[in-house]
Structure 1
């Protein structure tokens, strides 16, 4: 009788644990994109003078925030021996103080102006605006088959004094601005 009761209790515990695991929310699109931003920072090298010793890595958002707090949650996370510092910025001048700038979709009308302003300044530009990498941005995030992927504009990174690791280049969906063109 006690064995029978123990089996039922164990089955109930396993059933409840399984249902709570099944009910655990999956990360949203912008939580995944926030994680990508941290990983981009791990696999990109900035020019020597751009990252001063002991300074944090400044991750900025230009425009309206689609992340819902996911970027703020990255505050203090270690990347390349530096803590991430998040800041939402309103202007191109403020964006120039950043190491990584995510250009929100709300800035699509000003995209050309923004990319020209960031050009050659040692800032990794990232966005999910359609065609971002082709337009001259550093890394463009795309959603394909319900998965977040990314395109890399190697020429834009070089122009900005940045170097993407070979691992990052291999993971890119498409790489633009190389001698062999998009892959």
Structure 2
């Protein structure tokens, strides 16, 4: 009986480790996608140095900060709430902040600020781009009209990579 408990404990620990590694990998990929979104969106001012506001707590914040520091041309900052959107070009909304999508969307209004959400269900309902998993792969939905309405131009490469709604 003790042997079965040890095997069960080992299997549980291994499962948690794999889950943790998958979550860490997912955060890295989300950070990379956000960095690439900045490259594949043209802002009306021709802006090249992009500021990403991280709303709420997320592992993506640290990953994006590390990536941005190595590449340059991007600043990552934690924001306190919707009143900080004017400091940003991109807002990242983690799932823990889903309930604030309307407040962020109202604060953004027609400003050229891209909202990216971890929840693809919010795409077109405030969020311009939303992540989802499909067959274990990270994908994203993109709402082209809302991006264009804010006077930003998504490249054809970006539209081809995501699923446009």
- Would you say same fold, with TM above 0.5? yes
Residue in 2 aligned with 1:65? 58
Deviation digits for residues 138-179 of structure 1, max 9, x if unmatched?
111111111110111011101211110011111112x12xxx
d(CA) in 1 for partners of 2:95 and 2:116?
A: 11
Alignment of 1:117-132 (within 5 A): 117-132=107-122
Given candidates 129, 133, 136, the residue that maps to 1:139 is: 129
TM-score between both structures, scaled by the size of structure 2: 0.78
Q: Which runs of 5+ in 2 are unaligned?
A: 1-20
Cα pair 1:74 1:84 within 8 Å, conserved: no
Cα pair 2:40 2:158 within 8 Å, conserved: yes
Cα pair 1:63 1:106 within 8 Å, conserved: yes
TM-score between both structures, scaled by the size of structure 1: 0.71
SS at structure 1 position matched to 2:84: helix
Give the C-alpha shift of residue 65 in structure 1.
Answer: 1.9
Cα pair 1:99 1:122 within 8 Å, conserved: yes
Q: Which runs of 5+ in 1 are unaligned?
A: 1-24, 177-183
d(CA) in 1 for partners of 2:41 and 2:64?
A: 19
d(CA) in 2 for partners of 1:75 and 1:169?
A: 23
Cα pair 2:44 2:151 within 8 Å, conserved: yes
Residue in 2 aligned with 1:157? 147
Give the C-alpha shift of residue 77 in structure 1.
Answer: 4.5
d(CA) in 1 for partners of 2:32 and 2:146?
A: 22
Residue in 1 aligned with 2:158? 168
